[in-house]
Amino acid sequence: MNVKVGKAEIELYQGDITALNVDALVNAANNRLWMGGGVAGAIKAKGGKTIEEEAVRKGPIPVGEALVTGAGTLPAKYIIHAAVMGQDLHTDEEKVRAATLNSLKRAEEMKIGSLAFPALGTGVGRFSLYACAQIMIDVVVDFLQKTEVIEKVVFALYGQAPYQIFHKYLLDKFSTK
């Protein structure tokens, strides 16, 4: 599913975020930027440990913030590490909102035209997929209405349930306009 927002486009993709051909992948990170399991583990496994080494050198960062590193051997050029949780591995609505917004700000600052987000905080952080879809889509739609830089945001959703939840919220949001 693709939706036009301003000069940009939002796309939903069901599958492995590391396979996408976009300028940047967003990593659902902790504030120390260690890359263990989930999305971070997949990015590190396929892109190489240099991604984590660069991130850790630049960190730690406050929860809700984001920083950019190279993407190692992945097709993307950059990884945007969105600190959606601290060492307690807990996240909430405000952290997801801030991490999403700050990821978009870093993309705009770096002149990144396309990026892919996972469902931030819904794995290790155990945040609600429904709440995540609402927060992330709302933040992205609002940001895309103002940006001149970002042309495409992909929500890379691993599994059918996350895809269906994001699809339903995006459909509902745009069918009421």
SS (H, E, C) 18-66: HHCCCCEEEEEEECCCCCCCHHHHHHHHHHCHHHHHHHHHHCCCCCCCE
- How far CA 114 is from CA of 7, 132, 155, 162, 165, in Å, comes to 12, 20, 11, 21, 22
Cut 0.85: pTM above it: yes
Mean pLDDT, range 87-109, rounded to an integer: 96
pLDDT value, residue 175: 85
pLDDT bucket at 176, cuts 50 / 70 / 90: low
Instruction: Answer whether residue 17 shows pLDDT above 60.
Output: yes
Q: Give the pLDDT confidence of 106-149 residue by residue, as tens digits.
A: 999 999 999 999 999 999 889 999 999 999 999 999 999 999 99
Instruction: Answer whether residue 177 shows pLDDT above 80.
Output: no
CATH of the domain at 68: 3.40.220.10
Instruction: Answer whether residue 73 shows pLDDT above 60.
Output: yes
pLDDT value, residue 126: 92
pLDDT value, residue 124: 86
What are the φ/ψ torsions at residue 54 (nearest 5 degrees)?
Answer: -65, -45
Please tell me the distance from the alpha carbon of residue 13 to that of residue 44, in angstroms, as a whole number.
Answer: 21
Mean pLDDT, range 53-62, rounded to an integer: 98
Length of the chain, in residues: 177
Domain that holds residue 11: 2-175
- How far CA 151 is from CA of 40, 141, 147, 164, in Å, comes to 24, 12, 9, 24
Query: Could you give the number of structural domains in the chain?
Result: 1
Alpha helices in 30-159 (DSSP H): 38-47, 49-58, 93-109, 129-144
**Which residue, chain included where needed, has tokens 């103002």?**
146
